Structure 1
Amino acid sequence: MKDKTLAIVAYCTIIGWIIAYVKYKETPERSPLVRYHLAQALGVFIAGIAISIIVSIVARIIPTLGSLLSVAGLLPLILLIFGIITASNEAQRPVPVIGKAFENKFSFLN
């Protein structure tokens, strides 16, 4: 697969991320573009899980506020779409809001 394709696939569910990661590790010349987007996508997935847990706890405590915060569940989807657009442009820009936090993390990707 081409680097651009692997970078895009990394944002398509956890299974897509695993496929992109395996293909990335198999290639002798590891692309910095793919590595960057693997890290960004994994960061978005982790943040999505954290948001889901927080929203469910708040919904148990304050049901009215929980229904309003359920819209926050769309944030990871929006961030994944931004990531796909960035990957399709072959750019290495962080996803909005949380991308900077995951730029130099995940040393296992090296």
Structure 2
Amino acid sequence: MDYPEIEQALIEFRNKKGWQKYHNLKDLALSLNLEASEVLEIFQWKPSDTKLTDEEEKHLEEELADTLIYTFYMCEKLGVNPLDIVANKMKFNQGRHWKTEK
């Protein structure tokens, strides 16, 4: 699936569930933060070089998907393509960090 197809599927799912009323930027940002915390929880109390089990990797994938879904919903509310804003940020960072690395 490409991004427009994913976005359409997410919107259809949201609308089918009747969740539109909850999808404002503030509540989506809160949900994004909560899901990001669940990503962090997978690594809590483990040494940084610990190899994740297959079950933990699957759990991590699910939590990363949740964070992406909320990010995509926020981008939809803002009317921006997440791939475009990432590309723009990369260009900005390259210009900013290029100067310090010479």
- Whichever of the two has the greater Rg, that structure is 2
Structure 1 length normalisation: TM-score? 0.34
Structure 2 length normalisation: TM-score? 0.36
Higher helix share: 2
